[in-house]
Amino acid sequence: MNFNKVTQNILVLLLLLYVAVWPGPALAVNTLLVEDYQIQLFTDPDPLIVGKEAFIIAKILRSQDSAPVRDAKIFFSIRDNFQTKEIEALDLTENTTYQAAREVDEFGNYQLKTTFKDPGSYFIQAAIKALEGKKLNPPVTVGFVVTVTASGNLNLKMALVLLVILSITIVGIYLINVRRKIAPVGSKGLNFLDIPWINRLLQSKYFQPFLQVPLLGLTAILIILAFVDIQDSGKNMSTMLIWIIWWAGIIFTFALVGRMWCFMCPVGALSEWTSRIFKSHRLFPPKLQNMWLANFMFIGLTWLDIQIGVVRSPMVTGSLLIGITVVAVLVGIFFQRRSFCRYLCPIGSLIGIYSMFSAVELRSKDFEICRNHKNKDCYVGNKKGYGCPMFELIPAMDSNNLCNFCGECIKSCPKNNITLRFRPFFKDAWTTGKRSLDEAALAVALVGVSIFVTGDMLAPWAGWMESAMKLFPAKQLGITYQYTVEVVTKSVLYFGVSLFLIPGIILLAAALSNKIVGIKNHKGIKQTFINFGYMFIPIGLSMHLAHNTGHLLNESGGIVPAFQRVINKYTPFFAGVPDWNLAVTTLIDPPVLYWIQMALFIVFYIFALYAGYRLAINNYSNSNTAFKALMPMIFVSFVLIVTNIYLLNFPMAPRHIH
């Protein structure tokens, strides 16, 4: 096989893929509640294209049971040359020419077929004159803005980002090819434990509880508020603080300082304290001493949120916290140390995988000292410390996956042989010798989870789901309940994308890698999948960071009035009149946010390529073979990062409706 020709063909494929991508304009979707009805307006196709048949669709459901509404009377009007700023002065009740929409199926869909002749912005107004035979006088009117593009017209800002991504891919391939024989120079870096005050803090038995106890109290308060306070997620402090501030912000700590949250986590603290009180010595079942249970719990909880909206329900949020806390305490009663955190915590596996990216690590200073020291106090503990609660033996630790920086090894090590230092970002991906299928599978699945969860919050999601639901064989299965069709369709798509589509694509890439390098140079598809699976960690992490950056910067202002409301209502103090306009006031201009998100994609894509290069060099007998094996993985990573970029070029709905 001519390898240069293979490289050229891959570059051509990447270029063709770039040209084929249709970034399109953002689709505006309007949801309106009218008495006991929910009305959604959207368009098909997405985006709208000049000269191509288009459908303007209104979907009407009963709010109580999501049953479709039949025999409604709906009319549409279309105004061209519309500017978004005109909406403030537009009189929605003025006399306008309307066209009747027809009922197209039994699922509450009413559509008007049309064709747009010119590109530009259009204002579409719907007039609803009757619902289930009940006349509305005057008619209810609602409108939304759409953008129609010329065929093949690219959104300029997205085209620029895609051009950068394509350039990085080409340059990355070139640099990997040129420098594949050059060994990197490592650096041990500064030991933070040589700084006296940091050493004293981590040696102190009071430092960790000093953080854990207040957080435990705050968690208890949030659980109480979740049940007794207003059941509006946009005003309840529990849902606002947990899902907008904590969850959106904590993702960044994984990438920067690893499992630092686990150091102060109140749930983990309860589990560990319970284990100490009950003096549990039982080990977790050997067959379950891996990440599979935690992986499935995280994927299952994400599915639950997609289906019932955990983040939008204070009571469900409180119930979830109670459930996780109870399980953590029970595990602490029956099993030793932090067995819950290591094997069961639903976000523990996520934190572990993303912590591999962190630039901070805790390691042994000198392996010879550890080798000659037989007692291994860092693991078993002594009078000064309990030993590692996460079952990690420091001299054998070569990854951040399980270290929560608790400091027990620092306290108990009699040789002062522990170092806490900076290191290159994402170093664990290619230096760890403990790569395993459960970790690689989660790294790959998280790409699919992040893509699907982000898609679920985008403006055109309703239209996409509508198209998917039309493919569901509801009549053949005797299903008439619309909500059932939606739940099953969404579940099939979620698990299909997360557990089958993305892992399947990477598995095929592994098979192609093996075929390219030849049977003598590979160790089986499973091992190739495991080895290269870690290079996709930055792809999933980039979407998590970019997605949550949007929530954090667009919605975090709502915590201020939510906090004022709690103080005013439940304490004798007055914190001022809550200004709920802060809940919809963005902390940053949309264009700046957009480029921050795109920068995250670009930077983390570079890390993915570099990690792939290092993994290839480490796992193949020579650099030429490594380079060949890596090419299919670069192609897949390019496709996935372009998918991330494409999705975040659509407007994203807030986590809470204010």
324-346 pLDDT per residue, tens:
999 999 999 999 999 999 999 98
Confidence at residue 545, expressed as pLDDT on a 0 to 100 scale:
94
Q: Is the pLDDT reported for residue 586 higher than 80?
A: no
CA–CA dist 547, 596 (Å, integer):
11
How does residue 186 score in pLDDT terms, banded at 50, 70 and 90? very low
Confidence at residue 158, expressed as pLDDT on a 0 to 100 scale:
65
Q: Is the pLDDT reported for residue 140 higher than 80?
A: yes
Confidence at residue 81, expressed as pLDDT on a 0 to 100 scale:
59
Which has the higher per-residue pLDDT, 483 or 402? 402
Q: Is the pLDDT reported for residue 93 higher than 50?
A: no
Q: Calculate mean pLDDT across residues 526-551.
A: 94
Sign of CA dihedral 571, 572, 575, 581: positive
What are the tens digits of pLDDT across the range 24-43? Answer: 333 445 667 777 888 888 88
Tokens, residue 479: 């299903």
Detail the DSSP E strand segments found in 399-540. 418-422
What are the backbone dihedrals phi and psi of residue 312, each rounded to the nearest 5 degrees, phi first? -100, 5
Residues 340, 328 contacting (CB under 8 angstroms): yes
CA–CA dist 518, 516 (Å, integer):
6
What are the tens digits of pLDDT across the range 448-480? Answer: 999 999 988 887 887 888 888 888 887 777 777
Confidence at residue 408, expressed as pLDDT on a 0 to 100 scale:
93
> Using a CB cutoff of 8 Å and minimum separation of 24, what contacts does 559-568 make?
559/237, 559/240, 559/241, 559/244, 559/245, 561/235, 562/235, 562/236, 562/237, 562/240, 562/241, 563/237, 565/235, 565/237, 566/225, 566/229, 566/237
Q: Is the pLDDT reported for residue 374 higher than 80?
A: yes
Segment among 59-68, 184-193, 395-404, 451-460 with least mean pLDDT: 184-193
Q: Calculate mean pLDDT across residues 476-504.
A: 88
> Percentage of the chain surpassing pLDDT 70?
87
Across the chain, which distance is largest between two alpha carbons, in Å?
90
How does residue 145 score in pLDDT terms, banded at 50, 70 and 90? confident
Residues 221, 241 contacting (CB under 8 angstroms): no
Tokens, residue 407: 């400091």
Confidence at residue 87, expressed as pLDDT on a 0 to 100 scale:
40
Confidence at residue 272, expressed as pLDDT on a 0 to 100 scale:
95
In the chain the domains, ranked by start, together with CATH numbers, are: 30-153 (2.60.40.1080), 189-228+259-356+360-422 (no CATH), 435-629+637-647 (no CATH)
- Dihedral angle of Cα 313, 318, 319, 324, to the nearest 10 degrees: 130
The 3-state secondary structure of 289-358 reads CCCHHHHHHHHHHHHHHHHHCHHHCHHHHHHHHHHHHHHHHHHHHHCCCCHHHHHCCCCHHHHHHHHCCC
Residues 18, 639 contacting (CB under 8 angstroms): no
CA–CA dist 228, 570 (Å, integer):
11
Q: What share of the chain is helix, strand, coil (3-state, %, to 5)?
A: 55, 15, 30
**How does DSSP classify residue 85?**
G
Q: Calculate mean pLDDT across residues 140-169.
A: 70
What are the backbone dihedrals phi and psi of residue 321, each rounded to the nearest 5 degrees, phi first? -60, -45
What are the tens digits of pLDDT across the range 239-286? Answer: 999 999 999 889 999 988 999 999 999 999 999 999 999 998 899 999
Confidence at residue 344, expressed as pLDDT on a 0 to 100 scale:
94
> Using a CB cutoff of 8 Å and minimum separation of 24, what contacts does 132-137 make?
132/69, 132/70, 132/71, 132/72, 133/71, 136/34
How does residue 318 score in pLDDT terms, banded at 50, 70 and 90? very high
Q: Calculate mean pLDDT across residues 163-168.
A: 78
CA–CA dist 18, 50 (Å, integer):
22
Residues 358, 254 contacting (CB under 8 angstroms): yes
Q: Is the pLDDT reported for residue 67 higher than 90?
A: no
pTM here is 0.76
What are the tens digits of pLDDT across the range 603-656? Answer: 999 999 999 999 999 988 888 899 999 999 999 999 999 999 999 988 887 776
